[in-house]
Amino acid sequence: MVKRIVLIKDTAATGPDTTRDFYNRFLDGIREHKLLDEIMVVRAADLGYYGHGLVVKIMPNNIVYHNVQNTDIERIIKSTIEKNQILDDLILNEKPKQIKVALRNCGLIDPENINDYIAHDGYKALSNVLLEFTPEKVIDELKKSGLRGRGGAGYPTWMKWKACRASRSNPKYIICNADEGDPGAYMDRSILEGDPYSIIEGMMIAAYAVGASKGYFYIRAEYPLAVQRIDEALTKCREVGLLGENILDSKFSFDIDIRLGAGAFVCGEETALMASIEGKRGTPHPRPPYPTGSGLWGQPTVINNVETLANVPYILCYGGDNFAKIGTNSSKGTKVFAVTGKIKNSGLVEVPMGIPLKEIIYDICGGTISGKDVKAVQTGGPSGGVIPNKNLDVLVDYDNLQKMGSIMGSGGMIVMDTDDCMVDIAKFYLGFCVEESCGKCAPCRIGGFQILQILNRITEGKGKIEDLATLKRIAVSMQKASLCGLGQNAPNPVVSTLNYFEEEYKEHIINKRCRAGKCVALLTYTIIQEKCKKCALCFTNCPVKAISGNRETGYKIDQSLCTKCGKCKEVCKFKAVSKE
Amino acid sequence: MTKVVQAQINGILIRVPEGTTILEAAKQVQIKIPVLCKHPDLPPEASCGICIVRIKGTNKMLRACCTPVENGMEIITHDPEIIEIRRTVIELILSNHPNDCLKCQRNNDCELQRLTADFGIHSESFPTFLRDIPKDYSTNAIDLDPVKCILCGRCVHVCQNQQNVWALSFLERGMQTRISPAGDIQLADSPCVRCGQCAAHCPTGAIVEKDDTGIVWNALQNKEKYCVVQMAPAVRASIGETFGQIGVNYTKKLYALLRRLGFKAVFDTSFGADITIMEEASEFEERLLKQTRPLPLITSCCPSWVDFMEKFHTDMIENFSSCKSPHEIIGVLSKTYYAEKFKIDPSKIFMVSIMPCTSKKYEIQRSSEMFASGFQDIDAVLCTRELGRMIKQAGIDFENLPEEQADSILGEYSGAGVIFGSTGGVMEAALRTAHYLITGRELEHVEFESVRGLERVKETEVEIDGMKIRVAIAHGLSSVEYVLEKIRQAKLNNTEIPYHLVEVMACPGGCVGGGGQPYMVTDELRVKRAKALYSDDKDKEIRFSHQNPYIKRLYEEYLGKPLGEKSERLLHTTYVPQPLYRK
């Protein structure tokens, strides 16, 4: 009988071989200690930690060791596994202040084993629902929970379900939107890979509530492990009768298919997603009609995000009231964020709604890597905005972030320090949206492109002060006249950086200066004659021969030839090259 | 009963049936919200973002074209911010559109240009970035210049949904988005049937008819050439729109016009239609009474429909009438019958067809049978829009022209010939003559109301001599599937054929709604154009093709009899399956 599970993950991402080698050695150790029957060793896809080398998590004790070496294996087994002693030098203290709801099983259970899911209260919610709940009562319970869509817009989930239930037409569909695409966001991926059955259960409960008989997973093809895990989980469910006709001897019948996203960000937008499932070009369509009335193939459809669905079994298992105890008045429950950027502990965090942003950044994630000040935090991905340092006290929920000019979004959170240039950040996100615009709608397609051209000019030192007004003008037209969320929100990074960091834009335009030193074209490398020892290292290393002179007269950089590669500064041993 | 919703537009209370869009509802309060991508004939594409309006109580703006009015909505259709946003969007579109308007085929008749003028845009706020996409002149019927395309999506909609051809689609995304046949091939290598509905609905100069006016002007000034011309039924009902006259029949002024443009003889395609009826009705009589070939007989006078069938429905070839289209018949007869009679060297004859159609430009070289006279039977095809331009180039005051007659012996037509231009017209004309051929008696009531009108598929039963003749009429190529599927099912199950006679026109409304007709067509306009043809029919003394004395004379003097040896050689054609994609 398995008593403990040991989860292994190479959080430094040095390559698959590192984990495999370590896993084999660990298994050998377990074998030598004759513990094979009691200890299960699992290579986890994601533990929510990053940059901690090899991480070993021992469950159910919830002991996490980081930077583990091969030489530590023996003492981990001897002390911790056999004697329950904790090795202080290896311990990575579990991040405090987190509440795991959506991620409750991630890393805790074997995602490929349905029995493990069932052992962790899996399908308890479903069997409750099928035995004791009317569909209306399920929707009521969801209403009590206050769950809002975790995909970004935060629409109350119960209202979606209720509208779909009220639609008379049959058949109805449930779609799980697993087309996660924000740069740096991987919350949904972790759940798909780490707890596939909870999403399936969530979909089943949704189907029961609205009266749907068919579901689709729309998963981006770039998540092969997620696709594989979901596919295997669906097969398993069918095998044991948890999908198909008369589930658990009830009158409820339901099955789910998988559709793969073909690499378009806009296909996360619900109308485009449905077009894609129907085999059409993935472009958004006007709403109304809303999918709950006329969705997939014109039939009533509920589209919920992965994280939303993962919350559903929890709510139906432990009660909507219990769920609603977490969070703020308008935003209930928890939210998973993928914290990345210049942050010490990057990774997934699941926090109660209403937590101060500061606590996520400093207490949970340990502040910036460099130790420099946080300049701003970007939330909501390419559709979001920045929250400047002075506003880090903001309590994170849907409405507060919106008031700050950003959005909750799907949960991307990028931390920037003083080495980051805000114009550059805006340019990065705009570039993403321009690349991902479906091209259907003129304000988004051309507006985004024109904004990007202006930002390019500004970061190249060719900006004009009138450009700021033009940026705002195009941004407003995109926000008001675009058809879908992608176009309406694409200018947000520009609007919010302009709002909080207009000075930086002006510096680029008027002073031709980038204070973060990010905008290469605005940099000037010069040789400080007083410090220069005339060693010629810079002269010989300059790849474009922009440095002229000789050992007697000293050296000079010809600015018209310099490509600002920084090689001269890098090779100079006397700090005689300045970068401004 | 439809529910009524109540809302306010600019503070004025309105009541409209549920589902009415804001765009439609605003007309009640004398507001015409500016639009670009929305065509009155098509469902909203929602691609341009010009028609935005404000909803009180939200900070959002919504698109009027695709947003239904909801109870209690307070809609504002214009305020300074809305106007400014509309202007910005137009300027953005202009920044991705060539500004060579003066040299564009749509100059002065372009929806984007009109909007730009309306908004008083006199300078460039944003630098111009043009895409580098090659032009596609491969079809010899419609010219595609994707750089001028504003991606409104109308052409893709008509090609895919209305016509079910799927030649045009969107490729790539973002700024690289463009319209093209799938796989980036040329239109001529795609399933395109050249119906020109894309061109007729295009708001800019991105898709236009191939301009053959130059060829015709050249021929007209070539002393070696003997230029003759014919005009199709539908042209007379729509040319007036070039001058703001809707639903007026300009037959006789057109004859005068064409002579003044320099043509030596002016024929009428309606006469060709009379011949088509003689042949087709005889074919029908044969198939019905002698069971020579299978029924139903399907009409073949629409070249896009022929092309569509040869590509998508080759199992129907045996059901197709082998009779050529009316203008091809006039073409071949002009270089044989007419040339012989008037002792004109047929090699000198330059035959021009004025058509409501882009596909006819392709049809004239469709197969070797289009050279039955020994020469290319039709030398050039101009569509209605091109004729409109030639009138203006020549400076002719069209509306004040005198009325003239067409030239004998290919000019005088019966009422049956002229209704060819409307959906159901071929059917009605065929039934009039078939009745005579089968029974030997004339119909007392010549008008078949049940085959008229814009219903996309019309099915009805006509009694001839105690026989119940079942007929179907489809227009708009997507409508044809229903009819063909019924035929196919009957063939498959060996059950009674659902129809005896089937008429198909590729364009909605038939030729009056053709791809070469004046812009901004709607069903309302199609009805008005058709009405002009039906009233022409009504006014005619002779309303049966077989009673037309010139038809009788033609067969007596030259052709012999319908389906005779000479008729077969000159007036009939064959069909072969065509690949959907040539690459």
Q: Residue A477 is part of a domain; what is its CATH number?
A: 1.20.1440.230
Helix A196-210 and helix A124-132, axial crossing angle in degrees, nearest 10:
10
Q: Which amino acid is at B200?
A: A
- Do residues A151 and A281 both lie within one domain? yes
**Is A153 in CB contact (< 8 Å) with chain B?**
no
CA neighbor of A420 nearest in space, from A375, A367, A379? A375
For the annotated catalytic residues of B, the residue numbers are: 280, 283, 301, 321, 360, 363, 369, 511
Specify whether the CB–CB gap between B353 and B327 falls below 8 A: yes
- Do residues A72 and A138 both lie within one domain? no
Q: Is B565 helix (H, G, I), strand (E, B) or coil?
A: helix
Question: B306 is written with which tokens?
Answer: 């022929």
- Do residues A317 and A228 both lie within one domain? yes
- Non-local CB neighbours of B405 within 8 Å, separated by 6+ positions: B252, B255, B411
- Do residues A487 and A562 both lie within one domain? no
Cβ within 8 Å, pair A288-B153 = no
Is A355 inside a domain boundary?
A: yes
CA neighbor of A365 nearest in space, from A52, A139, A30? A52
pLDDT at A96: 47
- Do residues A49 and A64 both lie within one domain? yes
Tell me the CA distances in angstroms from B69 to A34, A102, B8, B81, B86, one per residue in order. 73, 39, 9, 22, 21
Contacts of B64 in chain A (CB under 8 A): none
Q: What percent of chain A has pLDDT over 70?
A: 97
CATH code: domain of residue A62: 3.40.30.10
CATH code: domain of residue A306: 3.40.50.11540
Is A177 inside a domain boundary?
A: yes
Tell me the CA distances in angstroms from B508 to B36, B415, B453, B477, B526, one per residue in order. 22, 22, 11, 8, 8
- Non-local CB neighbours of A155 within 8 Å, separated by 6+ positions: A148, A149
DSSP state string for B268-292: EHHHHHHHHHHHHHHHHHIIIII--
**Is B19 in CB contact (< 8 Å) with chain A?**
no
**Is A511 in CB contact (< 8 Å) with chain B?**
no
Question: B341 is written with which tokens?
Answer: 């009679």
Is A516 inside a domain boundary?
A: no
First to last CA, chain A: 65
- Do residues A183 and A249 both lie within one domain? yes
pLDDT at A48: 60
Contacts of A281 in chain B (CB under 8 A): 169-170
Question: A509 is written with which tokens?
Answer: 């335009």
- Do residues A198 and A244 both lie within one domain? yes
Nearest to A470 among B125, B150, B172 (CB): B125
Lowest mean pLDDT among A6-15, A362-371, B352-361, B426-435: A6-15
Enumerate the β-bridge partners of residue B351.
Answer: B228
**Is B176 in CB contact (< 8 Å) with chain A?**
yes
CATH code: domain of residue A537: 3.30.70.20
Nearest Cα of chain A lies from the Cα of B166 at a distance, in angstroms, of 12
Is A106 inside a domain boundary?
A: no
pLDDT at A14: 64
Peptide bond just before A289 cis, omega within 30 deg: yes
Model confidence at A46, pLDDT cuts 50, 70, 90, reads low
Nearest to B175 among A286, A445, A477 (CB): A445
CA neighbor of A429 nearest in space, from A437, A419, A417, A440? A437
- Do residues A211 and A319 both lie within one domain? yes
Find which of A281, A441, A452, A456 to mutate to test the B interface (most B CBs within 10 Å of its CB): A441
Contacts of B174 in chain A (CB under 8 A): 434-439, 445, 448-449
- Select from A417, A442, A461 the last residue of a domain: A417
CA neighbor of B284 nearest in space, from B456, B432, B104, B66? B432
**pLDDT tens digits in sequence order for chain B, 583 residues long:** 679 999 999 999 999 999 999 999 999 999 999 999 999 999 999 999 999 999 998 888 999 999 999 999 999 999 999 999 999 999 999 999 999 999 999 999 999 999 999 999 999 999 999 999 999 999 999 999 999 999 999 999 999 999 999 999 999 999 999 999 999 999 999 999 999 999 999 999 999 999 999 999 999 999 999 999 999 999 999 999 999 999 999 999 999 999 999 999 999 999 999 999 999 999 999 999 888 899 999 999 999 999 999 999 999 999 999 999 999 999 999 999 999 999 999 999 999 999 999 999 999 999 999 999 999 999 999 999 999 999 999 999 999 999 999 998 899 999 999 999 999 999 999 999 999 988 989 888 889 999 999 999 999 999 888 889 999 999 999 999 999 999 999 999 999 999 999 999 999 999 999 999 999 999 999 999 999 999 999 999 999 999 999 999 999 999 999 999 999 999 999 999 999 998 7
- Tell me the backbone φ, ψ of residue A56, rounded to 5 degrees: -120, 125
Rounded average pLDDT over A341-369:
89
Is A96 inside a domain boundary?
A: no
- Non-local CB neighbours of B45 within 8 Å, separated by 6+ positions: B37, B38, B152, B153, B154, B157
Is A497 inside a domain boundary?
A: yes
Is A95 inside a domain boundary?
A: no
DSSP class of residue B136?
B
Domains and CATH numbers, chain B: 4-93 (3.10.20.740), 101-124+132-209 (3.30.70.20), 214-571 (3.40.50.1780)
- Select from A417, A451, A485 the last residue of a domain: A417
Number of structural domains found in chain A: 5
Cβ within 8 Å, pair B172-A286 = no
CA distance B524 to B40: 10
CATH code: domain of residue A395: 3.10.20.600
Nearest to B129 among A283, A448, A449 (CB): A449
- Select from A401, A417, A433 the last residue of a domain: A417
Nearest to B49 among A285, A450, A481 (CB): A481
Question: B508 is written with which tokens?
Answer: 């909605």
Is A105 inside a domain boundary?
A: no
First to last CA, chain B: 53
Whole-number average pLDDT of chain A: 91
- Do residues A184 and A311 both lie within one domain? yes
Domain extent at residue A33: 4-83
**Is B520 in CB contact (< 8 Å) with chain A?**
no
Nearest to A483 among B46, B88, B126 (CB): B46
CA distance B421 to B384: 13
Q: For A215-264, what is the HEC assignment? A: EEEEEECCCHHHHHHHHHHHHHHHHHCCCECCHHHCCCCEEEEEEEECCC
Q: Is B353 helix (H, G, I), strand (E, B) or coil?
A: strand
pLDDT at A82: 87
Rounded average pLDDT over A379-400:
93
- Tell me the backbone φ, ψ of residue A466, rounded to 5 degrees: -65, -20
- Do residues A374 and A452 both lie within one domain? no
The string of pLDDT tens digits covering residues A90-143 is: 988 755 467 889 999 987 889 999 999 999 999 999 999 999 999 999 999 999
Closest chain A residue by Cα to residue B58: A480
CA A54 to chain centroid, in Å, comes to 22
DSSP class of residue A95?
P
Report CA Rg, chain B: 25
CA neighbor of A348 nearest in space, from A9, A112, A39, A576? A9
- Do residues A466 and A489 both lie within one domain? yes
Q: Which amino acid is at A67?
A: N
DSSP class of residue A148?
B
pLDDT at A63: 87
**Is A272 in CB contact (< 8 Å) with chain B?**
no
**Is A509 in CB contact (< 8 Å) with chain B?**
no
CA neighbor of B382 nearest in space, from B187, B232, B218? B232
pLDDT at A44: 76
CA distance A63 to B450: 83
Question: B30 is written with which tokens?
Answer: 């004398």
- Do residues A175 and A286 both lie within one domain? yes
